[in-house]
Amino acid sequence: MNRIVFTCLLLTALFHQTNTYGQRLTREQVYDTIKEMPSFSSYQDNYFISGVPTNRAITKNNSDIKYQISFKQLISRATLPLNSYLFLTYSQKAFWNVYSKSSPFEEINFNPAIGLGKPVFNKEGNIFGLTELKFEHESNGRDSLDSRSWNRITGAFHTPIGRRTILSVKAWLPIAYTENHPDILDYVGLGEVKVEQTIINNRLIADLTVRKGLKGLKGAASARVLYKLFNNSGNQYVMLEWFAGYAESLIDYNKYSSMVRIGYVIKSTDLDILKSK
């Protein structure tokens, strides 16, 4: 896992040194965009993917469908102090054992949040990044020994580090998380780093997300490739994802998994404001 983190940081540095910046939106254009964007939009990617494990024999009981629903509601539009804006988000991730008898849902994770966002500008008055400060709750809606629930204050910074590269760094301060899973930070750590690279404009995108747990080599890495089949399909892609590590779901946060899945994704446009025009 340490090698994965090092590779990610090295690639980030290389992109920063070699990529040339395009024209970024000005301060006025950014605030005009915020005023005109819809109040209700996607937040994280919405997807429906299916796949199999790579670290054990494939059976109908360990193959599944994973899907995510994620949206954002703007409450204000850059009218709070420091020209920040208030928003609500809700994400729901489900693991569906559709190939097993009776097709049960193995796990559903619920993640509501409230946060403040603010664009950041460089000395020339062009957008340099987006910051977010949120209070998040995440749980699996179960009770007794199967209950998994934790709260956290999270801070995130998203910034372009090249014409086609966006770096996202997210850190969290956990609150009230020790019941039933006092060791969860050993597996999820205190933050994550994501690098997204547009390989072919409006056609092919790849990203890598890494997370280092506080204990040994625990953590996770998720690599994805998104390909747009048709030019007129908007932000709809086919996605191939490989997840390896811990805490893909809350119920099995302390169990290692390696899953490769493929399927349909509606890619979020939440960070498009950072892209070169």
pLDDT for residue 22 = 61
Tens-digit pLDDT profile for residues 117-160:
999 999 999 999 999 999 999 999 888 888 899 999 999 999 99
Q: Does the structure show a pLDDT above 70 at 67?
A: yes
Q: What is the pLDDT of residue 178?
A: 74
What mean pLDDT is predicted for residues 157-179?
92
Mean pLDDT along residues 61-76: 96
**Mean pLDDT value of segment 94-112:** 95
Share of the chain above pLDDT 90, in %: 75
pLDDT of residue 119: 95
CATH 2.40.230.10 fits 2-274, yes or no: yes
pLDDT above 70 for 163? yes
As a whole number, mean pLDDT of residues 213-229 equals: 95
If pLDDT is split at 50, 70 and 90, which confidence band does 277 have?
A: low
**What mean pLDDT do residues 96-103 have?**
93
Name the residue ranges covered by the structural domains of the chain. Answer: 2-274
For the cut 90, the answer to whether the pLDDT of residue 231 exceeds it is no
Give the pLDDT of residue 13: 44
The region of weakest confidence among 22-26, 97-101, 105-109, 238-242 is: 22-26
23: pLDDT strictly greater than 50 = yes
Average pLDDT over residues 194-216: 95
Q: What is the phi/psi pair of residue 243, to 5°?
A: -110, 130
Q: Identify the band that residue 179 occupies on the pLDDT scale cut at 50, 70 and 90.
A: confident
